[in-house]
Structure 1
Amino acid sequence: MTDGYFSDSYAEARERFRAAARGAGAELVSYRNDVAPGPGGEDLCTDTAWLGPRSATKVLFTVSGTHGVEGYTGSACQIALLGDLDANPLPPDTALVLVHALNPFGFAYNRRVNEDNVDLNRNFIAHDLPPGNDEYPRVHPALVPAEWVGAARVAADTELMAYAGAHGVRQLQAVVTAGQWSHPDGLFYGGTAPVWSHRLLREIATAFLPGRARVGYIDLHTGLGERGVGEPIFRGGRDADAFDRARSWYGPTVSRSEDGSSSSTRIVGNSATLIADVLTGGEELTAITLEFGTLPGIEVLEALRADNWLCLRAGVTPEPGAGVTPELRAAIKRQLRDAFYPPEAEWRETVLARGREVFAQAFAALAGHPIGVREPERA
């Protein structure tokens, strides 16, 4: 059953998370986004929960809501983890940090991006020398058509299909999702400076992680891959053994964007980059994205294009404007939410079970019993 875990709004998810954290005896700290208020003018906050001894040498650090609307699922997984601690307490010398709704703006407004149209998971770069994506300008006009219903949309779709036909669908995915730092009105825009959520994650990670011997990092996402499957995608650390270690933790399904084994193509500026940057004292980092598949990739891209067009045309406020009808706005917002937060109970049950499995694997590995290490057989 998924009752009590999955929410219908950011406010409900936050309330449930905080209640679960208090019930588990966690230390709670809230950080208010001072850049943008919520849809009703309310405060938007990222909450952190710490459990376990402050002296712990091993820490599992989990994040939900890096991509706002994806926070519904990440929140549910975190709430379930907190509720399971009674029956499955933390291993000795181990602590747990949960960062809930890292991008509360996107969560509250049902958008993937933040208040600046920035894809947070492309913002963790050296902004004085941003990466290049020379191909993105070729597809940008087709990704951001002048109208969503009409001839301009048809022409844009035709152009994207032509690009995919010439270069392959995987190459189109790589160009669109890698990250771009040249078109603020476009998709997967990485921004020009560290945004509020970026700065906050650095503050939290710096407070909790340096000096620990071993750090497990799990960033919870939805939208890529086979429907309902929770794919562990390798994101670090930086030592030579990190990938093999991740597979010993989570099994042979751990994939890498860089070698084509993942549903994700190579991206630049993801949050695990910051975690690795914070750990400069020889701490062992094992970082993954846990990616839950939802809809076929083309449908997810359509939802992102539609939501981006809607925001450019009429803003994020719920009042219709600039020729956008209430019906079209509602349809686009429903399309975006379904692409990252499917409503079906079966999908949610599968996701919850997989989240619990991966968390258990992480704790076992931190305790010195990764699944890839077998106990010697007894005679």
Structure 2
Amino acid sequence: METELQACFAPDYASARQRFLTHCRQLGLEVRSYQNPNLGPEGEELAADTAWIGDKDARNVIVTLSATHGVEGFCGSGAQLDWMRNKGPGSLPDGIAMLIVHAINPHGFAWLRRVTEEGCDLNRNWIDFDEPHPVNPGFEALRDVLLPPELSGPLFDAAEEKIARWRAEHGETAFHVARGGGQYSHPEGMFYGGNAPTWSRRTLESIMRDYDLPQRDQIAIIDYHTGLGPFGYGEPICGNQPHTPGHKRAKNWYGQSLTEPDLGTSSSVPKVGLSEYGWTGIVGDIHTYVALEYGTYSPDAGRAALRADHWLHARGDVDWQAEETRAIKKRLKNHYYPGTPDWQEMVIFRSRMILRQAIQGLMAANP
């Protein structure tokens, strides 16, 4: 098993992409590469790569997405490769195809960032930018202290004291909404939704249309994420809104482990600008969406790691070889990808289970 894990989970974006492309060639799959206009930290090419497995005219499609949040791509890429390497392609029933979207945010994956090259959280970027942007009052109250000018010293200590007072007064849920629910006023800050559709959003919209997804009967979406919940546990978070057909299907397919932020049953809090809204806008009610969220370490450990990364990039161009950069990047990668064999094996176990449930759900919906 350890050898298999090493083959699936890559040490960096370039290696992950190469493994994906190599296995696609071995399976005889046609790959579409959506080239990102930027380069990686070592000058490497960046792209979102896609592969279709199964009947091109299949009425039912499973879509797996990795690297929505960049550095979280180590997990999703490993799970995607596991399915490809372990008889997944040969196990698809008639009428069901798989669309693998590898590294939809390749810039964040390569640069070990949670955000896109525009500094945006892709999972907060799906709003109508012609309308007034959502306002997060809690974030506005804390924006100056969530990303302080220093990571130690008096200013940092004062910022942490203000956060502690605010958390004590308003509660933990309100704090996590303020910090992570999405904001559109502070481009250098965390969980910034942007002021226009990002390259990754536009690319995913193109992928939906290029593969004729709006014309299918049913689409099951598994979007791999990390960073929330108990260590190694894969939490299927329902992306469909309550009382929609997709919401009903998700509950039937994934059972009682399915969680819902709007009902307070999830490790995640309600957020704005989620990718699911983009899917609804393009394919409508035919999709059943889960974010498969794997736990790592504590939320406060994540806040510290993410804060340091945003602080680093807010100062301007980043020297990739600098000792400070390496330390900050290592810390962020470790939070979103612990990379230990036990954690990797738990990722694979839950991924296989969710994919099997999705296939069974599609089969039951369209016997």
Residue 152 of structure 1 is matched in structure 2 by 155
Structure 2 counterpart SS, 1:97: strand
Superimposed CA distance per residue, residues 242-264 of structure 1 (whole angstroms, 9 cap, x where no aligned partner): 32320211111111111111100
Indicate yes or no: 2:333 matched with 1:331.
Answer: no
State the match for 2:101 in structure 1: 99
Alignment partner of 1:188 out of 181, 191, 195: 191
Corresponding residue SS for 1:3: helix
> What's the CA shift for 1:159?
1.4
Separation in structure 2 between the aligned mates of residue 276 and residue 84 of structure 1, nearest angstrom? 32
Distance in 2 of aligned mates of 1:148 and 1:107: 24
Question: Could you tell me which of 348, 354, 359 is aligned with 2:350?
Answer: 354
CA distance in 2, matches of 1:241, 1:276: 11
Query: Are positions 1:246 and 2:265 aligned together?
Result: no
Whether the 8 Å CA contact 1:218–1:289 is kept in 2: the answer is: yes
Matched, 1:344 2:340: yes
- 1:87 & 1:18 partners in 2: Cα distance? 15
How far is 1:290 from its partner?
0.4
Q: Distance in 2 between matches of 1:61 and 1:87?
A: 13
**Percent identity for Structure 1 against Structure 2:** 39
Structure 2-normalised TM-score?
0.94
How far the C-alpha of 1:78 sits from its partner, in A, is 0.3
1:237 Cα deviation from its structure 2 partner: 6.4
Residue matched to 1:375: none
How far, CA to CA, are the matches of 1:160 and 1:238 in structure 2? 32
1:234/1:61 CA distance change after superposition, 3 Å: same
Query: In structure 2, what is the Cα distance between the partners aligned to 1:179 and 1:294?
Result: 21
Counterpart-to-counterpart distance in 1, 2:150 and 2:94: 57
Runs of 4 or more, structure 1, over 6 Å off, are none
User: Once the 2 structures are TM-superposed, how far is the Cα of residue 3 of structure 1 from its aligned partner?
Assistant: 1.8
Gaps of 5+ in 2: none
CA drift of 1:369 comes to 7.5
Q: How does 1:317-328 map to 2 (within 5 A)?
A: 317-320=319-322, 326=323, 328=324
Are 1:58 and 1:212, in contact at CA under 8 Å, matched by a contact in 2? yes
1:29 and 2:29 matched: no
Q: d(CA) in 2 for partners of 1:145 and 1:315?
A: 19
The CA deviation at 1:155 is 1.3
SS in 1 for 2:63: strand
Q: Deviations over 1:17-51 (max 9, x none)?
A: 112222333221111101x2111222211100101
Does the 8 A contact of 1:25 with 1:51 survive in 2?
A: no
Alignment of 1:87-126 (within 5 A): 88-126=90-128
Q: CA deviation at 1:110?
A: 0.5
2: CA distance, partners of 1:223 / 1:306: 16
Deviates more, 1:168-177 or 1:232-241: 232-241
Q: Secondary structure at the match of 1:367?
A: helix
C-alpha RMSD of the superposition: 1.7
User: What is the number of equivalent residue pairs in this alignment?
Assistant: 361
- Alignment partner for residue 233 of structure 2, among 226, 229, 235? 229
Corresponding residue for residue 363 of structure 1: 359
1:72-117 deviations in Å (ceiling 9; x for gaps): 0000000011112368521111110010011100000001011111
Query: Partner letter of residue 74 of structure 1?
Result: G
